[in-house]
Structure 1
Amino acid sequence: MKKTRLWASLLALAFVGSCQNNDEIMDASAKQLEVHDKIVNVTHDGRPFSTGNSTSVNGKFVSGPGGGVMMQGFYWDVPAGGNWWNTVNSKLTDWSNAGISAVWLPPASKAQNGAYSMGYDPTDYYDFGNYNQNGSVETRFGSKAELEALITKAHAENMQVYADIVINHNSGGQSQANPFTGTNTWTDFSGVASGKFQRTYNDFYKNSYGNNDEGAFGGFPDLCHANPYVKSWLWEREDSVGKYYKNVMKFDGWRFDYVKGFGPWVVNTWNSNIGGFSVGELWDSNVNTLEWWANNANSSVFDFAAYYKMDEAFDNGNLNALNDDMMWKRNPYKAVTFVANHDTDVIYNKMPAYAYILTHEGYPTIFYRDYEEWLNKERLNNLIWIHNNKATGTTSILYTDNDEYIARRNGYNGNPGLVVYINSSSNWQERWIQTNWSNQQIKDFTGSSSWHPTTQGDKWVKIQCAPKSYSVWSLNQ
């Protein structure tokens, strides 16, 4: 959830209704609007990198040894006007071709600010742009039919679709006398247009179930998950919110907003009743807290620990920070890694950060604006291909100092793995490192280095990396 702009905008409503080669050294630390246009296409078969053109007959995502990559299919304040679902729909084939396995969509149901809302102030969970409510029929993103067409197209491309679920708070209710506060509160949702999950004051804290749960957000009515009526409508009934999203709308998974606001048992119970992939937005850099939540929620969690360590490493000249603890190191199967999202975009030097998450363990996420607007798409497609085809096995950190970081993916089930070399200095660097491979020729799959060294019998080899860049090495096959 947008912790600053959303709150400010809704309070204003007053709750009323790298790849470089030796000759072309690109500055990977350029800010978002710089476009790197000097890219060498070494091959067109996916090695060393995909250019974004389809490399398969049907142009559909096919899972590789390293798994897939999630696309965050929106950013804060995407254009209003009801065309966003169509915009995303038009990009799905290219994303699938590039190796994107899933797309995360913004909150899809009608919210208080109607056609202008980003969805994080939900009013009616069953209005996907098909009821005249809160000043509009369509949501900011479009109509229910357009959303359904997007999901159908994604599934045809072998991609999954994840819904952003906001169940900490609601907004857009009518005023009513509340005996638990002794005042009027905006908690009357008995008139929602869908007629489903009607709510009144006892469905929000404070109420007969207590004064509060783990946390409230921005003064919005705080939904009470302890109330059996609320639990029934969220995940138990056959027409519950979760089952409607999954069985009718055909969503495949969930991104839970602001999970600091309720206990991890809520997500755990949702997952037990509904199923599908899930990830929680627990905005906390403490890896112990992230691991605790993920285990108790039976869910993945965004790796904010890695996020802030990458900022320290790539923006503040301390690659040693990558030695520190992160969620993906604790449990890569429950860690969703990212470089930016709709809420936070603090990492300035993004390409090495993407090289990091797309070569390491965890489930990497690409931010829409980084991919479509701000960074070089061919370089990102190269890293996506490397992730899907080479990033296998456990991780061993081989070398770090302030300017250099080298790590090895140890390979799995016949896949050779890789070695990633990140260099933040202003000079070419070379290092002897131990690989997974004995007496084998290797190459840099980014195309940055022209070396094709052969590993020694003891698996040692010298590799190199261009200034302010990265290289990724694996068997030349």
Structure 2
Amino acid sequence: MDYLRRLRWFSSSLFPTRGYSTPALEQMHLMPQDTKDNPLMFQFFTWLSEGSEQESWWKHFEAQVPRLKEFGVTHVWLPPPNKASNKHGAGYDAYDLWDLGEFEQKGSVATRWGSKEELQQACAVARANNIGVLIDAVLGHKLGADRKETFTAIPVNPDNRLQQTGPQREIEGWTAYDFPGRGDKYSTLKWSHRHFTGVDWDARERKSDIYYIIGPGRNGWSKHVDDELGNYDYLLGCDIDHTQPDVKEDLLRWGEWILEQTGGAGFRFDAMKHFDRRFLAEFIERCRRSLGSRDMFAVSEYWSDSISKVEHYIKQIRGQTSFFDVPFHYNLHNASRNQSTYDLRKILKKSLLERRPWDAVTFVDNHDTGIGRTLESWVDESFKVQAYALILLRLEGLPCVYYGDVYPNKEHFDANVSKQILKLIQARKKYAYGKMTEYLNYRNCIGFVRHGDDSHEGSGCVVVIRSNIDVKQSSGNSKDYGQEIRMKVDLKKDLGTTGKPVIYRDLLGDSRTVAVNAEGWGIFPCAEGSAAVWTRSTSEE
């Protein structure tokens, strides 16, 4: 049974589907057609993305493609390829989507990541290695305008964008985008204040506020966005009005063009909660038609720890995109911060993995969650390996590995943690197959068994997750805590029929061995504050 069939069987047997369309991951191309291996996504950048000895980030990515292929990576999420508002911008400060490092704009020809030619070359190498490139699409706002304009706007309450805080007034805003370096190549649209719903700076009064732009042809804040702060259409910079026909057509054409230019396999959508979800659905549909591929990959960043809000968006988007499992990320973060009091038996509670695993792209951390970053919620190194064991070795969800946790970098790198994560990645590729049985025995120690399948010889593994416990801080009966778990493995493909115990060894370095009896039962330990991945030994010892 291949990955999608296994995922479909698991999810449909355990979870209701009322009110939902077909799960997103079931409809997407997740792996090369000639393999039955597990798919794996990789975020190939950090916020600073420093430390590469290559002349550009695109060159660095190209050089690492063979290694990523060895990891079993099937999809790579690259940073936004577009020209930013300044030459050091990461691309989330989107200036010109049509400039991939081709034109002299904002202080340089290349983007922070490199030139257009380097991007295209790196993508070609990835495709040749059966790795799909995901384009990070920033479709909700623009920054770095070329000129100021004068227009009428109303200041609104930052905590309730539906509440006016003053009379309408004439302001000066940086809203004119002329793209002098690119001219009319690829697109003739020149953006002005009529293409935006709001800005956050009045240059005339030199005042920062949220200003709602009014005038003929305006349609107001989008009604199809998150309702946080009254209406969360506005995020930053110049907020794009997706109801304007020329704006809509320009962005839709860009989606087709960027896939043609890069050979991309799909998209990661930035800040989904802040722009019209109807437009997003149309964007995805048009790109799929353009590719002639109904299974183009799409994943969206809807940043909320509320599972009910995420589920609401899943219903609204009706299977067009998968979602990062942000609620599960916060569970991991909280577990890492409160290990003595956190009940690991509830680690999946109110997450997409629990409710909608077939729509979930799981992750431990990303470029925004690090210490001092915008969405700081870093999973502490003391729980990082356990967290990766949970996303990489379970049956459900599509895991995404973060560059900053694997590659040396100046932000948040731990060499020992990286080594363990790499072992877990290899374990996913080789052993994490077949149905899954969970053993949620203790507050501080849980486990699960992957029973293996017919397509991967010697597959199957036993995983134990254990947190650090400070007895003085812990709560509950002493019987709630453990150091090992009795679990049953499937011995129908045993290494022999001698009647001798089958020996299991830990891939992460525990020197102990576990003897499994003829019925398949064994007692599997785990060191405190660690994870263990037990597999059948081929040794004669």
**Cα distance in 2 between the residues matched to 1:413 and 1:332:** 24
Q: 1:393 to 1:175 in 2, by over 3 A?
A: farther
Whether the 8 Å CA contact 2:40–2:398 is kept in 1: the answer is: yes
Instruction: State the secondary structure of the residue aligned to 1:193.
Output: coil
Instruction: State the secondary structure of the residue aligned to 2:120.
Output: helix
Deviation at 1:356, TM superposition (A): 1.3
Deviation at 1:476, TM superposition (A): 4.8
Coordinate RMSD, CA, aligned: 2.8
Deviation at 1:403, TM superposition (A): 1.5
Q: 1:210 aligns with which of 215, 219, 230?
A: 219
Q: Which residue of 1 aligns with 2:140?
A: 168
Give 1:57-456 correspondences, 5 Å limit. Answer: 65=36, 67-79=38-50, 83-113=56-86, 115-173=87-145, 174-179=147-152, 182-191=170-179, 193-194=181-182, 195=184, 196=187, 197-205=189-197, 206=213, 208-213=217-222, 214=225, 215-235=232-252, 240-275=253-288, 276-297=296-317, 298-317=320-339, 318=342, 319-345=344-370, 346-348=378-380, 349=382, 350-360=384-394, 361-373=396-408, 374=413, 375-376=415-416, 377-393=418-434, 395-409=436-450, 411=452, 417-425=460-468, 429-437=483-491, 440=494, 441=502, 443-446=504-507, 447-456=509-518
Total equivalences in the alignment: 412
Q: 1:359 to 1:152 in 2, by over 3 A?
A: same
Deviation at 1:456, TM superposition (A): 3.9
**Cα distance in 1 between the residues matched to 2:242 and 2:275:** 8
**Cα distance in 2 between the residues matched to 1:412 and 1:225:** 47
Q: 1:62 to 1:463 in 2, by over 3 A?
A: farther
Task: Kindly provide the CA deviation profile for residues 324-380 of structure 1, in whole angstroms up to 9, marking residues without a partner as x.
Answer: 131122222321111111100311131111111111221111111210122444422
**Cα distance in 2 between the residues matched to 1:332 and 1:63:** 25
Whichever residue aligns with residue 401 of structure 2, its letter is I
Whichever residue aligns with residue 110 of structure 1, its letter is K
Q: 1:464 to 1:262 in 2, by over 3 A?
A: same
**Cα distance in 1 between the residues matched to 2:265 and 2:97:** 17
Q: 1:439 to 1:66 in 2, by over 3 A?
A: closer
Q: Which residue of 2 aligns with 1:5?
A: none
Q: Which residue of 1 aligns with 2:27?
A: none
Q: 1:380 to 1:64 in 2, by over 3 A?
A: farther
Tell me which structure has the larger Cα radius of gyration.
Answer: 2
Deviation at 1:169, TM superposition (A): 0.4
Task: Kindly provide the CA deviation profile for residues 22-60 of structure 1, in whole angstroms up to 9, marking residues without a partner as x.
Answer: xxxxxxxxxxxxxxxxxxxxxxxxxxxxxxxxxxxxxx9
Whether the 8 Å CA contact 1:82–1:141 is kept in 2: the answer is: no
Whether the 8 Å CA contact 1:129–1:144 is kept in 2: the answer is: yes
**Cα distance in 2 between the residues matched to 1:304 and 1:462:** 33
Q: 1:386 to 1:266 in 2, by over 3 A?
A: farther
Instruction: State the secondary structure of the residue aligned to 1:92.
Output: helix
Q: Which residue of 1 aligns with 2:4?
A: none
User: Which moved further from structure 2: 224-233 or 408-417?
Assistant: 408-417
Q: 1:91 to 1:454 in 2, by over 3 A?
A: same
User: Which moved further from structure 2: 436-445 or 194-203?
Assistant: 436-445
Whichever residue aligns with residue 221 of structure 2, its letter is N
**Cα distance in 2 between the residues matched to 1:233 and 1:187:** 17
Whether the 8 Å CA contact 2:441–2:485 is kept in 1: the answer is: no
Whether the 8 Å CA contact 1:310–1:321 is kept in 2: the answer is: no
Instruction: State the secondary structure of the residue aligned to 1:120.
Output: coil
Whichever residue aligns with residue 530 of structure 2, its letter is S
Whichever residue aligns with residue 516 of structure 2, its letter is T
Q: 1:444 to 1:362 in 2, by over 3 A?
A: farther
Instruction: State the secondary structure of the residue aligned to 2:516.
Output: coil
Whether the 8 Å CA contact 1:403–1:425 is kept in 2: the answer is: yes
Task: Kindly provide the CA deviation profile for residues 140-190 of structure 1, in whole angstroms up to 9, marking residues without a partner as x.
Answer: 111111111111111122111111111110012221222566323222123
Q: 1:267 to 1:393 in 2, by over 3 A?
A: farther
Stretches of structure 1 lacking an aligned partner (at least 5 in a row): 1-59
Instruction: State the secondary structure of the residue aligned to 1:358.
Output: helix
Q: Which residue of 1 aligns with 2:14?
A: none
Task: Kindly provide the CA deviation profile for residues 385-411 of structure 1, in whole angstroms up to 9, marking residues without a partner as x.
Answer: 222233235544312423201123455
User: Which moved further from structure 2: 279-288 or 465-474?
Assistant: 465-474
**Cα distance in 1 between the residues matched to 2:454 and 2:218:** 52
**Cα distance in 2 between the residues matched to 1:265 and 1:412:** 41
**Cα distance in 2 between the residues matched to 1:188 and 1:82:** 33
Task: Kindly provide the CA deviation profile for residues 310-334 of structure 1, in whole angstroms up to 9, marking residues without a partner as x.
Answer: 1222331122331413112222232
**Cα distance in 1 between the residues matched to 2:134 and 2:400:** 12
Whichever residue aligns with residue 362 of structure 1, its letter is G
**Cα distance in 2 between the residues matched to 1:267 and 1:437:** 48
Whichever residue aligns with residue 72 of structure 1, its letter is Q
Q: 1:456 to 1:326 in 2, by over 3 A?
A: farther
Whichever residue aligns with residue 266 of structure 2, its letter is G
Q: 1:66 to 1:464 in 2, by over 3 A?
A: farther
Whichever residue aligns with residue 232 of structure 1, its letter is E
**Cα distance in 1 between the residues matched to 2:514 and 2:171:** 74
User: Which moved further from structure 2: 399-408 or 248-257?
Assistant: 399-408
Q: Which has the higher contact order (CA 8 A, sep 6+)?
A: 1
Whether the 8 Å CA contact 1:110–1:125 is kept in 2: the answer is: yes
Stretches of structure 2 lacking an aligned partner (at least 5 in a row): 1-30, 155-169, 198-212, 226-231, 289-295, 371-377, 470-480, 495-501
Deviation at 1:246, TM superposition (A): 0.7
Deviation at 1:433, TM superposition (A): 1.9
Q: 1:124 to 1:425 in 2, by over 3 A?
A: closer
